Structure 1
Amino acid sequence: MSKLIVESGWVVVTVKEFNSYVPKNFGCLVMKGKYAIPYPLDTTPQLINLIENFSGVTDPTIGTILSLVTKKESLTLWHLLQLVSSENRFLVFDKLDEFVPAPNGVTKEGIQGLNKDMLSNWRLEIELKMD
């Protein structure tokens, strides 16, 4: 188990064919067989703990995570969109859409189906809005 902290540029961490995009001033836990979900380094300790221990589709903490995230965790939410159950994907979509509205051509239905082009377009929009 290692903690990745990015001080400049971007790092892509691939686990189980899932790419995690970790930009400057973000970190993530890197552990064999576990998804690396990036978060801003100034995220609250409680939220960091929930993100680092997030176990995927059946993780019951998604509601708590959604209640604690702020706009600065938009990229974290984008990653979670792809890791939650289809039922919870709507909730994550709505929260992310509050912070960074889905760009033209990105639909709730497309994200529900994990459309790669739509996910990529939304990630690019999030990157443009990052401080």
Structure 2
Amino acid sequence: MRPVKQRWSFFSLRWSYQLGAVAGIVLLATAVFVLRSSPPGNDGPSWDVVRLEGTPRVGWHSVGEKSGLGKLRIGQTLVTDSYSRATITLDETGRVEVDAGSRLRLVANGPGRKRLSLERGTIHATIWAPPGEFVVDTPSAVAVDLGCVYTLQVDDSGAGVLRTTMGWVGFKLNGHESFIPAGAICQTRPKIGPGTPYFEEATASFKGALSKFDFASITPVERTALLGIVLADARKSDALTLWHLLSRVSEADRPGVYDRLAALAPPPADVTRDGILRLDRPMLDAWWSSFGFGDIYLWRTYERDWSQRPPNAK
């Protein structure tokens, strides 16, 4: 009987180890599931998420007809597939409609700063927060609301397009900045940042030359030739574009840009040709503010806060 008792003890011990291992695996899987299912940043404020079509998701949770109102908290990502759309709303900030095929993450939600990151897709933002409080990172630029309504698109390569419907938006990356007033559009590319803004009703040749000037790999001679097309086709409202070009052209090309801009929109009395040619910042700002697109003081006031590189910039 003693050998049988020893075999039984051996098998009991073996089963005990196996059961313990299984229990450990179950506990580990449960912990992982709970951690993945628990929304991060529960202690902070959240945006309300409402389904418009399909089944948008926040993390692992679906926002559908039966699931009711969703919540987007710091660190979470709202994902819409090709059949889904949603809106997110924060009472003191604004409303953002998220189109199909989008990924939108909430980065910050503190007092005076609401920050989203659009990894891909399209959003339509209607913002009533004070200027400078609502910021959207993209892979190639940071969009800063200055009291506006706008649409922002990002494709899978990280390239983006911003269209402003009301007010104006600041677009910036690594010291490269563009201002987009109502009716204007601005493209952006990874590693380059925002291009030169222009009004959508500009001529096709104007827009085509400007796009190549901003983003194509071309020689200085070719850039000067493209600039010539832009200057020749410029209308009075294209002062928006020419003002931006002052700081983007070569020193040799700058006098031609100044002369064409001055003919379309004469500078204020305290703005001189010499000052503009040496890119005197107060004079450039004064000339911009005379266009009626928006007071550049708003941008300069908060510029240091907005100059941070977007977390996902390439």
TM-score, normalised to structure 1, is: 0.90
- Report the Cα offset of residue 75 of structure 1: 0.8
Partner of 1:93: 258
Question: Does the Cα contact within 8 Å between 1:47 and 1:65 map onto a contact in 2?
Answer: yes
- Report the Cα offset of residue 113 of structure 1: 0.7
Question: Does the Cα contact within 8 Å between 2:231 and 2:260 map onto a contact in 1?
Answer: yes
Q: Which amino acid aligns with 1:48?
A: K
Higher mean C-alpha displacement, 54-63 vs 76-85: 54-63
Partner of 2:296: none
What is the alpha-carbon distance in structure 2 between the residues aligned to residue 77 and residue 93 of structure 1? 8
Higher mean C-alpha displacement, 20-29 vs 45-54: 45-54
Partner of 2:286: 121
Question: Does the Cα contact within 8 Å between 1:4 and 1:29 map onto a contact in 2?
Answer: yes
Can you list the C-alpha shifts for 1:50-107, whole angstroms capped at 9, x where unaligned? Answer: 1122148932311111111111100100000110111111000000000111111111
Question: Does the Cα contact within 8 Å between 1:28 and 1:52 map onto a contact in 2?
Answer: no
Unaligned stretches of 5+ residues in structure 1? none
Counterpart among 234, 239, 242 of residue 69 in structure 1: 234
Where in structure 1 do 4 or more consecutive aligned residues deviate above 4 Å? Answer: none
Q: Which amino acid aligns with 1:9?
A: G
Q: 1:87 is paired with a residue of what secondary structure? A: coil
Partner of 1:20: 178
Question: Does the Cα contact within 8 Å between 1:15 and 1:36 map onto a contact in 2?
Answer: no
- Report the Cα offset of residue 16 of structure 1: 3.2
- For the pair shown, the structure with the greater C-alpha radius of gyration is 2
Corresponding position: 1:7 with 2:142: no
Q: Which amino acid aligns with 2:291?
A: I
What is the alpha-carbon distance in structure 1 between the residues aligned to residue 266 and residue 250 of structure 2? 21
Higher helix content, 1 or 2: 1
What is the alpha-carbon distance in structure 2 between the residues aligned to residue 20 and residue 73 of structure 1? 14
- Report the Cα offset of residue 27 of structure 1: 0.3
Unaligned stretches of 5+ residues in structure 2? 1-158, 294-314
Q: Which amino acid aligns with 1:42?
A: E
Higher mean C-alpha displacement, 115-124 vs 2-11: 2-11
**Count of residues paired in the alignment:** 128
What is the alpha-carbon distance in structure 2 between the residues aligned to residue 108 and residue 67 of structure 1? 20
What is the alpha-carbon distance in structure 2 between the residues aligned to residue 39 and residue 20 of structure 1? 10
What is the alpha-carbon distance in structure 2 between the residues aligned to residue 22 and residue 55 of structure 1? 16
Question: Does the Cα contact within 8 Å between 2:172 and 2:178 map onto a contact in 1?
Answer: yes
Q: 1:37 is paired with a residue of what secondary structure? A: coil
Q: 2:232 is paired with a residue of what secondary structure? A: helix
- Report the Cα offset of residue 8 of structure 1: 1.2
Q: 2:291 is paired with a residue of what secondary structure? A: helix
What is the alpha-carbon distance in structure 2 between the residues aligned to residue 55 and residue 45 of structure 1? 15
Higher strand content, 1 or 2: 2
- Over the aligned positions, Cα root-mean-square deviation in angstroms equals 1.7
What is the alpha-carbon distance in structure 2 between the residues aligned to residue 38 and residue 108 of structure 1? 23
Higher mean C-alpha displacement, 110-119 vs 25-34: 25-34
